[in-house]
Structure 1
Amino acid sequence: MDFINWSAIVLKFLSRIRALRIVIGALLGLAMASGAAVAAEKGGVLNLIVQPEPISLNPGINRLGPATFVGYKIYDTLVAYDQKDLSPQPRLATSWNVSSDGLTYTFKLREGVTWHDGQPFTSKDVAFSFGEYLPAQHARSRDLRAEIDRIETPDDLTVVFVFKSPYPAFIRSLNVPIEPAHKYVGVTDFRNAPANAEFIGTGPFKFAEWKKGSLIRLVRNESYWDKGKPYLDEIVFQVIPDANSRAIAFETGNVDVLRAGDVESFDVARLAALDGVKIREDGWEYLQPVGYIHLNNRNPVLSNIKVRQAITQAIDRDFIINTIFAGFGKPINGPFSSQSIFKDTAVETVYPYDPQRAAQLLDEAGFKPDTNGIRFEVRLVPLPYGELWSRQAEYLREALGAVGIKVDIVSTDVAGWAKRLTTFDYDLAQNFVYTTADPAIGISYGYKTVTGDNAGTTGGNVNGYSNREVDALLDQAAHEPDQDKRKQLYSKVQQIISREVPLVWTHDIVFPTLHRAKVHDLIVSALGTDDNFASAWIEK
């Protein structure tokens, strides 16, 4: 069987890619070095792109990237996180205290905060959000709620979380929206409640209009708790159908900011070199995104570890990083982001790109090619986030086809993609996942055993992977208060999971952000552009 030498193809691109990266590095250095303090100016409209168009603007309903990008300007959180050390910073909570046994967290809330409809924000909203609303929507919140024994509200400005056992990840679990309890009185079906579409938050911006297929407009919350903020009059998120049009919108000044995926990766360096444009790669310290190719372990073929190893070795992940993502990424061989303090590369099993070995493994697994050279057929569901992911899907089809795996690309919209993954109605699927600052949040729910036909959640264990030893280690590590012991436990987790390859980790994603030099303080926390933009301002 003939194998396509993708590595040779990569070499043709590398010199150009390296040159682009040098340009970007220089521009990034200039952007970071030009931080002279200037007084913030009030007013102006910040024009952004959101793509694809979100399903909802309420991040309590939908936690996919487009929804959180828009939604966290409307809905505030208890705390923010510092870029340097991920320490929590006051937002709706002004202070917090943890008991010596690690079981009780007491938060003092900000006085005088109101919802966008004028109702007062109180501890009841926090208790409702963590105790009822969010667990009804998301696996991560359900897992967190299961750790909590009770939530107390001794007064309107105090909320107390009492845990069943120590759970050190809690302080890093607070980047979730606080929802208005008064809008859900008497409601039992939180997912389909009419209030979900009203977008009432406490954030610096209020929902103004949503012209489907065109734009989403937010306006300044004049009653925001942080006096003098926000500085911007409005934020407009434009919905633009294709990458080329989005690039033109930025070039012509109709758009002020580009996030990763808004334009083709190969266009980033060209746009970054325009006059009055800055580029930066920070702002992902909390989210720690990792690229995935999900493998449905419930498929009898993909449940075979040799098949999963073969798929991993048939894919040239350096090609994905250097060519498809234009160098914006780092190699990865396990579930933890390189930004994680728990990352342990020493214990990871590395499956290098080796299509010959992949073919051998498939032979050993009993999947010999037929007269047409086909061993078996799989369905690949691409991530519906634009041309970048379509290009990767096409590469995967060719790379796996070269070792005898026929790939049928089954394209769908965001809602269809999510439904397929969460009901295990797929074989392979693209994704990138926010692994977050603590493994008990972003790793446990992605690899712990789930049951049932519809037990997954977007970004969670939609692979159907199950290893009882991993389950036990994740549980133990989540409740271990000693940091060094946690690291040891998570090292064992990485050792097992990287060996068993329940999915393919394509790369540690590096997401660049381009913006006009006139836009200041766009990224001020570890949540980057997903943060609330209360501090962002435009120089006149």
Structure 2
Amino acid sequence: MPSATRRALRSGYGFALAAFIATAAALPAPAQAQTPTPVRGGTLSLIAQPEPPLLVSAINSQGPTLYVAGKIYQGLLRYGPDLNPLPELAKSWRIAPDGLTYTFELESGVKWHDGKPFTAADAAFSIGTMLPEVHVRTRAVLNKYMASVRAVGDHQLEIKLKEPFPPFIMMFETGTMPMMPRHLYEGRDYRKNPANQQPVGTGPFMFKEWKKGAYIKLVRNPDYWKKGLPYLDELVFNVIPDSASRAVAFERGDVQVLRGGDVDNVDVKRLRAIPGVDYTTRGWELFSPLAYIMLNQRKPPFDNLKVRQAVMHALNRQLIADNIFFGQGKPATGPFASATRFYDRDTPVFEFNLKKARALIKESGVEVGRYPVKILALPYGANWERLDEYVRQMLEGLGLKVSIESTDAGGWAARAGNWDFDITTNFTYQYGDPALGVERLYRSNNIVKGSPFANVQGYDSPKADALWQQGGATLDAAERQRAYSELQKLLTQEVANVYLLELEFPTLSRANVKNLVTTAIGLNESFDKVYIDKK
């Protein structure tokens, strides 16, 4: 791909690429080189932590769901570590000079796991009908910007936008825009469809068995459209509730891969030192995960800005990074991760200052002790448990009465998504552009029930809404930067959320597991080229 093309993609997602057509032959090789002779066969053992509530990524966007479902479902595109798009179910694509029409040429000969052909009608149904209803993150963009989508024959898809939206080309990976089988979902209740229990995709692995509380098994798709792939026979995602037991399972070789969060951060250094273990933090380029605390702004005491500002001053983010997450992260300065486009390093920072925090509580006039609050615990392991205990301790130092409630992953998602919380911690992915990964958390028109990855804290600002509109629609990168710089200052000052950490998630694996991390979504990829070297 010419360097000018790369620059255009980074500065405006390709609207200088009026006639750009991406093809497999013209694109860079994966970041991790393959050995000349991949080995066929074998079972790869992994961990699903926590156990996902569902395996259909169109309906559930929690991390464990995306991890497992990424092997079953596929998107039209993949993305390299440099965030440039790569072919997947779409073998080529072009963007009109005005940025309003996207045309995808789809692979032929692709079959769903039940043997039915995958066609442009499936893609049109997924993007035009199902995802705008059930995918809380994707629907916000599609409902706002998409004018139409249609199948042109069996293998061409045309999408028209109402207005230019530069980040649109970044939306076609499997977690954001999974292709769903029209013949199983059209005209049915998407969320209650029996097909959700036996997921059917186009990916290299097919659903075989889910023994709740024990494991999820996927098996090789014998009719996979990429000839000769996948190499592995089976994937087993083990459900092991205890962090120490997960670490032991990796040490003994019972599992061969650990995803960030599978074990307590305190164990990572020891496990990394085991002979024959590989370690990487690559594979998170598209996500840039950022952790924050959501304060329910609909009721006291967090409907008061000074109380929210006091919470920001009361938390030592460097201590959280160093002593709670054991160095696997760094303090966040605001809603944008520092590695992402349009980050503004001049955003004012709330320093750790208990004296200032107590003064703000006094200035607020709120008797915070009159409003007992509960922390809805994020059920993702010991790091988050330690964080909740620390937050409770620091808020009690401001005079709040705080307790902690535990739940499982499904319960947390349901309660947070339905605003049934006072305080809860969350971390979300930024998806390469603030219009895709950050805007959804703050737009007032995304104060909707049903997902913890919307504006569930209830932040409502007409000024912020106008800036999101300005930043998302223009093709001018400088104008986008101005809007997003102002937004970062506004959201931080108004404590739209309590910003904590830019997270770093390591992947640990046995050295004989090859081709594990090759794209910007890392372990959420299909694993169609992963193999186990038996030498």
Question: Same fold per TM (> 0.5)?
Answer: yes
Name 2:366's counterpart in structure 1. Answer: 367
Distance 1:113 1:525 in 2: 22
Distance 1:519 1:440 in 2: 36
Distance 2:502 2:472 in 1: 23
> What is the 5 A alignment of 1:203-352?
203-346=203-346, 348-352=347-351
What is the CA-CA distance between 1:37 and the residue it aligns to? 4.1
Distance 2:505 2:497 in 1: 22
What is the CA-CA distance between 1:36 and the residue it aligns to? 8.1
Name 1:6's counterpart in structure 2. Answer: none
Do residues 140 (structure 1) and 137 (structure 2) align? yes
Do residues 472 (structure 1) and 469 (structure 2) align? no
Q: 1:502 aligns with which of 496, 499, 509?
A: 496
Q: 1:131 aligns with which of 110, 128, 131?
A: 128
Distance 1:205 1:328 in 2: 32
SS at match of 2:518: coil
Name 2:25's counterpart in structure 1. Answer: none
Distance 2:408 2:32 in 1: 41
SS at match of 1:514: strand
Note if contact 1:41-1:539 (Cα within 8 Å) is conserved in structure 2.
yes
Q: What is the one-letter code of the residue matched to 1:134?
A: L
Partner deviation per Cα, 1:449-471 (whole Å, 9 max, x = no partner): 0477x536222111100110110
Partner deviation per Cα, 1:5-32 (whole Å, 9 max, x = no partner): xxxxxxxxxxxxxxxxxxxxxxxxxxxx
Q: 1:53 aligns with which of 44, 51, 54?
A: 51
Partner deviation per Cα, 1:230-254 (whole Å, 9 max, x = no partner): 1111110000110010011000000
RMSD (Å), alpha carbons: 1.6
Name 1:413's counterpart in structure 2. Answer: 408
Distance 1:423 1:36 in 2: 46
Note if contact 1:138-1:457 (Cα within 8 Å) is conserved in structure 2.
no
What is the CA-CA distance between 1:34 and the residue it aligns to? 10
SS at match of 2:372: strand
What is the CA-CA distance between 1:479 and the residue it aligns to? 1.0
Partner deviation per Cα, 1:394-433 (whole Å, 9 max, x = no partner): 1111111122122111212222211221221111101111
What is the CA-CA distance between 1:155 and the residue it aligns to? 0.7
SS at match of 1:80: strand
Distance 1:456 1:340 in 2: 27
Distance 1:456 1:270 in 2: 40
Distance 1:179 1:263 in 2: 32
SS at match of 1:100: coil
Partner deviation per Cα, 1:173-202 (whole Å, 9 max, x = no partner): 112210000112432x21111122221000
Note if contact 1:214-1:238 (Cα within 8 Å) is conserved in structure 2.
yes
CA 1:368–1:190 in 2, change beyond 3 Å: closer, same or farther? closer
Distance 2:318 2:79 in 1: 32
Q: 1:402 aligns with which of 397, 400, 403?
A: 397
Note if contact 1:376-1:404 (Cα within 8 Å) is conserved in structure 2.
no
Q: What is the one-letter code of the residue matched to 2:456?
A: V
What is the CA-CA distance between 1:300 and the residue it aligns to? 3.2
Partner deviation per Cα, 1:88-135 (whole Å, 9 max, x = no partner): 100000111111111000000001100001100000111111111112
Note if contact 2:32-2:518 (Cα within 8 Å) is conserved in structure 1.
no
Partner deviation per Cα, 1:439-497 (whole Å, 9 max, x = no partner): 11111111000477x53622211110011011011112111112222122111111211
Deviating more after overlay: 123-132 vs 479-488: 479-488
Aligned positions, number: 500
What is the CA-CA distance between 1:38 and the residue it aligns to? 4.5
Distance 2:498 2:135 in 1: 24
CA 1:66–1:119 in 2, change beyond 3 Å: closer, same or farther? same
Distance 2:195 2:446 in 1: 31
Q: What is the one-letter code of the residue matched to 1:182?
A: H
What is the CA-CA distance between 1:145 and the residue it aligns to? 2.1
Name 1:524's counterpart in structure 2. Answer: 518
Do residues 445 (structure 1) and 428 (structure 2) align? no
Distance 1:161 1:130 in 2: 9
SS at match of 1:391: helix
Distance 1:184 1:456 in 2: 20
TM-score (norm 2): 0.91
Distance 1:149 1:35 in 2: 41
Partner deviation per Cα, 1:342-388 (whole Å, 9 max, x = no partner): 11121x1211111111111101111357xxxx464211111111222
Distance 1:432 1:245 in 2: 24
Q: 1:41 aligns with which of 39, 42, 45?
A: 39
What is the CA-CA distance between 1:154 and the residue it aligns to? 1.5
Distance 1:526 1:74 in 2: 18
CA 1:34–1:139 in 2, change beyond 3 Å: closer, same or farther? closer
